[in-house]
């Protein structure tokens, strides 16, 4: 899988839900759209994919490597 998200959850400091138990697999070469209403977590999901936000639970992998491991190695 090019992108693999397992059991990703994130809660904002003001107790708003950001993401709750997200699971997603996207194969390499696939085009995928992320759609939703305002405040549904689209940007929060992308922040986790690019490593600018640390998941509180779960795992985010891009090209079989943990996103946080890539940033800090």
Q: Are 60 and 48 in contact (CB under 8 A)?
A: yes
Question: Mean pLDDT, to the nearest integer, of 7-22?
Answer: 88
Query: What pLDDT shows up at residue 42?
Result: 95
pLDDT digits (tens, 9 = 90+) for 25-49: 999 999 999 999 998 999 999 999 9
Domain count within the chain: 1
Prediction pTM value: 0.83
Residue 20: domain span: 3-72
């Amino acid at each position: 899988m090019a992108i693999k998200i397992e059991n990703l959850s994130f809660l904002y400091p003001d107790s708003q839900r950001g993401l709750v138990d997200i699971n997603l697999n996207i194969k390499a070469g696939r085009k995928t759209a992320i759609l939703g209403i305002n405040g549904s977590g689209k940007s929060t999901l992308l922040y986790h994919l690019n490593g600018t936000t640390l998941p509180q639970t779960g795992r985010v992998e891009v090209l079989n490597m943990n996103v946080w491991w890539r940033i800090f190695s």
